[in-house]
Amino acid sequence: MREWLKTYRLKHGFTQEETARLSKISRSYYTHIEQGNKTPTVEVAKNIANALEFNWVLFFESSCEEDA
């Protein structure tokens, strides 16, 4: 589980559906990313990061990967 990602989403008051729409991906794909079942492509990571206002490289840092 990527708790840090969920925290960013909730901080903005977004549902998974809203975050997915803003990130230009399906809700199911976003859910898999948030649950840690899938790692996003760089493009998708950037889209999510733009929507939730964080640095996209967080997806690829070892400390975040350990939480998954």
- pLDDT, mean of residues 35-57: 96
52 belongs to a structural domain:
yes
- Share the mean pLDDT of the chain: 92
For residue 13, the enclosing domain spans: 3-61
pLDDT at 8 over 80: yes
The encoded tokens of residue 52 equal 């939730």
Express each pLDDT in 27-43 by its tens digit: 999 999 999 999 999 99
7 belongs to a structural domain:
yes
Single-letter code of the amino acid located at 38 = K
68 belongs to a structural domain:
no
Percent of all residues in the chain with a pLDDT value above 90, rounded to a whole number: 85
- Considering its fold, how many domains does the chain have in total? 1
* CATH classification of the domain holding 39: 1.10.260.40
**Pure H helices in the chain:** 3-11, 16-23, 27-35, 42-52, 62-67
Q: What is the pTM of this model?
A: 0.87
- pLDDT of the residue at 62: 64
